[in-house]
Amino acid sequence: MGPFDPSAAAAAAAAAAAAASSSSSSSCSGGSAPKRHHHHHHHHPPPDLDGLLAGAGYKVRSSELHHVAQRLERLETALVNSAAHIPHLASDAVHYNPSDLASWVDSMLSELPSSSFSSPCLPSGFPDPYSPAAAALGGGWVDHPSCSPHPQPHQNVVVPQQPQPQQQQQLTVVTALEEDSGIQLVHALMTCAESVQRGDASLAGSLVEEMRALLTRVDTSRGIGKVAGYFIDALGRRLLGLGSAPASAFENEVLYHHFYEACPYLKFAHFTANQAILEAFDGHDCVHVIDFNLMHGLQWPALIQALALRPRGPPLLRLTGIGPPSPDGRDVLREIGLRLAELARSVNVRFAFRGVAASRLEDVKPWMLQVSPKEAVAVNSIMQLHRLLGSDPPRDPPIGSVLPWIRSLNPKIMTVAEQEANHNRPGFLDRFTEALYYYSTLFDSLEAACPVQPDKALAEMYLQREICNIVGCEGAARVERHEPLDRWRARLGRAGFRPLHLGSNAFKQASMLLTLFSTEGYSVEENEGCLTLCWHSRPLIAASAWQAAPTVVNSPAGVINHDDNNNQLSCSPVPMLSIETDIPSSIQ
């Protein structure tokens, strides 16, 4: 596809936009799916939520405020009466989703012996919202001396609609601010991207030349110079119709491995997913992990070892690894499987491996996975789901067929890790700008946190591939269609999944993992039951867990009802995963 000709470029862009919006229009209906922002903080809260508390990061229904207040009071009383409760609540209990205040306080209360707080019959001291007196007051909070002379805002204040200008130019602010040449470069990049969006290929082309000249006067070994270089190359490739450079599966694996070593993003994803899978498998004797992208199986030794250490003994573990076919007659998947089997044998875990070779995830059919109704299934997708969001119109993006078959497997858990960015906006300039910001942050973290070569250089090439794809490709070829958590929540919700919240224990362990990287700058944040890995407070990777929402339909697997009403992972003690940075299997 070559957007060399301006009208063809416009047509291609329009087609891509139409395809993207036809898949995203369904995702925008319902819920509070954002169009531009990807954090909930500035959304219009649903009308029954207290708007002011929403601005503080808490989702509490106005009608529940009294209930929550009562609970808070009881908890405070209980803690005052017996300070011994505090260590239990602080260290032993697992906390989930603090934004949902009502369930947070209720779960803490349920952790305490019921004798420790006062009988519910005592008046709380708050006016009863259902009493006639309260009704006379309009059901709102009691009016007291400090009533504002200004119009008293309602508890469920709605943030006024912000009119968004049509051509709102998004701002990219990178650490380039401090360097004049940096600002010039970013400015030129934005102008070039904008001309690409308009279909002005000749202007775009001359800007690429200008920027290449600019680059010679700038330090390209680090910072904005380096990142800009990649984006300029990607723009150049786009204008020549080259898209991404073709890459062999072997090359991909090598780059992936170095990216894995150079920075904590993949390790965080693997580690968090494994913790969640371990908890979900608790109590099951036959378990089956389906890995959507096996690569070298780097994620699995740690899980195998953790299962080996289970107090009641390891389960029978089946691992189905999906990966691209090997071109040269080797069966790479099988080789990985053998190595993992060797490891499993060495720790006495009964293990069976199956490789499913497919060049695209959408080519996989559920029957290939041979899921048995007796086993607990974990579906593991590390940076794979976004690849299913693109298509060549008029075909629909494959996500629409893949999510249903995942759900039909009735997995005990689906672990998902995705880049926390919106690189799937229909408008090229928006996508470009967001990617520039995102990858600048990512490259910044590599520079600061990974001085080791060749890991760093190859990790950068790994990321460069992604940049090239986001900037240079369209349609089905553009596979790096990253979307932020809120969009995934909406999409997975519609597909019949509900969240399994990751709690304070997972948070703590992920934080501990980060301390192995001695650089300041990485942090873990909790986002309504999901965990994100941040560099200097910018979320970059989001890890989440899901289960099939209850249904009464007969599924092909023969399961009728999902018996698990609890959307939290089990609290029973599970062995801590050991963090191995030296993976036993040898990598060529």
Partner 1 sequence: MAGDNEVNANESKRVVPLNTWVLISNFRLAYNLLRRPDGTFNRDLAEFLDRKVPANTIPVDGVLSFDHVVDRPTGLLNRVYLPVPHDASQWGFEELEKPLSTTEAVPVILFFHGGSFSHSSANSAIYDTFCRRLVGLCKGAVVSVNYRRSPEHRYPCANDDGWAALKWVKSRPWLMSGKDSKVHVYLAGDSSGGNIAHHVAVRAAEAEVEILGNILLHPLFGGQERTESEKRLDGKYFVKIEERDWYWRAYLPEGEDRDHPACNPFGPRGRSLEGLKFPKSLIVVAGLDILQDWQIAYVEGLKRNGQEVKLLYLKQATIGFYFLPNNEHFYCLMEEIKNFVKPNC
The footprint of partner 1 on residues 429-448 (CB under 8 A) is 437, 448
Show the tokens assigned to 173: 């602010």
Q: Does 50 bind partner 1 (CB under 8 A)?
A: yes
Q: Does 526 bind partner 1 (CB under 8 A)?
A: yes
Among 167, 216, 518, 581, the residue binding partner 1 under the rule CB under 8 A is 167
Contacts of 128 (CB under 8 A, 6+ apart): 66, 134
Q: Does 55 bind partner 1 (CB under 8 A)?
A: yes
Task: Report the nearest approach of partner 1 to the CB of residue 136 (Å).
Answer: 17
209-248 footprint of partner 1 as x/- string (CB under 8 A): ----------------------------------------
Task: Report the nearest approach of partner 1 to the CB of residue 278 (Å).
Answer: 19
- Contact predicate 319/289, CB 8 Å: yes
Task: Report the nearest approach of partner 1 to the CB of residue 127 (Å).
Answer: 9
Q: Does 162 bind partner 1 (CB under 8 A)?
A: yes
Using the contact rule CB under 8 A, the part of the chain among 56-64, 293-301, 317-325, 373-381 near partner 1 is 56-64
HSE of 394 in the Cβ direction (CA atoms, 13 Å)? 0
Among 63, 523, 567, 570, the residue binding partner 1 under the rule CB under 8 A is 523
Nearer to partner 1, 41 or 330 (CB): 41
Nearer to partner 1, 58 or 250 (CB): 58
Among 538, 551, 557, 585, the residue binding partner 1 under the rule CB under 8 A is 538
Task: Report the nearest approach of partner 1 to the CB of residue 355 (Å).
Answer: 38
Give residues 182-211 in contact with partner 1 (rule: CB under 8 A). 183, 186-187, 190
Q: Does 168 bind partner 1 (CB under 8 A)?
A: yes
Q: Does 80 bind partner 1 (CB under 8 A)?
A: yes
Among 113, 120, 132, 149, the residue binding partner 1 under the rule CB under 8 A is 149
Cα–Cα–Cα angle for 210, 215, 216, rounded to 5 degrees: 105
Among 66, 198, 284, 498, the residue binding partner 1 under the rule CB under 8 A is 66
Q: How far apart are CA 525 and CA 511, in angstroms?
A: 9
Among 115, 148, 216, 221, the residue binding partner 1 under the rule CB under 8 A is 148
Nearer to partner 1, 227 or 402 (CB): 227
Q: Does 72 bind partner 1 (CB under 8 A)?
A: yes
Q: How far apart are CA 348 and CA 309, in angstroms?
A: 10
Show the tokens assigned to 333: 């998947």
Give residues 17-46 in contact with partner 1 (rule: CB under 8 A). 36-37, 39, 41-42
Give the distance from CA 355 to its chain's centroid: 26
Contacts of 203 (CB under 8 A, 6+ apart): 192, 195
Q: Does 521 bind partner 1 (CB under 8 A)?
A: yes
Show the tokens assigned to 320: 């189905």
Q: How far apart are CA 400 and CA 18, in angstroms?
A: 17
Among 57, 283, 373, 556, the residue binding partner 1 under the rule CB under 8 A is 57
- Contact predicate 259/462, CB 8 Å: yes
Task: Report the nearest approach of partner 1 to the CB of residue 58 (Å).
Answer: 7
Q: Provide φ and ψ at 522, rounded to 5°.
A: -85, 145
Nearer to partner 1, 142 or 245 (CB): 142
* Furthest-apart CA atoms within the chain: distance in Å: 82
Q: Does 166 bind partner 1 (CB under 8 A)?
A: yes
Using the contact rule CB under 8 A, the part of the chain among 320-328, 385-393, 398-406, 522-530 near partner 1 is 522-530
Among 68, 232, 298, 421, the residue binding partner 1 under the rule CB under 8 A is 68
Using the contact rule CB under 8 A, the part of the chain among 12-20, 145-153, 204-212, 546-554 near partner 1 is 145-153
Cβ atoms within 10 Å of 158's Cβ, excluding its own? 13
Tell me which DSSP letter residue 47 carries. Answer: T
- Contact predicate 499/544, CB 8 Å: yes
Q: Does 536 bind partner 1 (CB under 8 A)?
A: yes
Give residues 377-396 in contact with partner 1 (rule: CB under 8 A). none
Among 133, 171, 213, 552, the residue binding partner 1 under the rule CB under 8 A is 171
Nearer to partner 1, 38 or 407 (CB): 38
Q: For 260-294, b where at least 16 C-beta lie within 10 A, e where not — what string?
A: bbbbbbbbbbbbbbbbbbbbbbbebeebbbbbbbb
Nearer to partner 1, 25 or 537 (CB): 537
Nearer to partner 1, 187 or 395 (CB): 187
| Closest alpha carbon to 58 in 96, 102, 110, 111 | 102
- Listed in sequence order, the DSSP H helices in 82-179 are 85-87, 101-111, 132-136
Among 22, 170, 220, 551, the residue binding partner 1 under the rule CB under 8 A is 170
Show the tokens assigned to 92: 């032993």
Percentages of the chain per state (helix, strand, coil), in multiples of 5: 45, 10, 40
337-376 footprint of partner 1 as x/- string (CB under 8 A): ----------------------------------------
Q: Does 172 bind partner 1 (CB under 8 A)?
A: yes
Cβ atoms within 10 Å of 331's Cβ, excluding its own? 13
Q: How far apart are CA 542 and CA 445, in angstroms?
A: 16
Q: Which helix (H) or strand (E) holds 215?
A: helix 201-216
Q: Which helix (H) or strand (E) holds 458?
A: helix 455-472
Q: How far apart are CA 475 and CA 18, in angstroms?
A: 10
Q: For 175-199, b where at least 16 C-beta lie within 10 A, e where not — what string?
A: ebeebebbebbbebbbbbbbbbbbb
Q: What residues form DSSP beta bridges with 320?
A: 290, 354
Task: Report the nearest approach of partner 1 to the CB of residue 333 (Å).
Answer: 38
- How many residues in the shown chain lie near partner 1 by CB under 8 A? 82
Contacts of 388 (CB under 8 A, 6+ apart): 361, 362, 397, 398, 399, 402
Q: Which helix (H) or strand (E) holds 413?
A: strand 413-419
Q: In angstroms, what is the C-alpha Rg of the chain? A: 26
Task: Report the nearest approach of partner 1 to the CB of residue 439 (Å).
Answer: 15
Nearer to partner 1, 276 or 290 (CB): 276
Q: Does 175 bind partner 1 (CB under 8 A)?
A: yes
Nearer to partner 1, 88 or 345 (CB): 88
Give residues 87-126 in contact with partner 1 (rule: CB under 8 A). 89-91, 95, 98-99, 101, 105, 118, 125-126
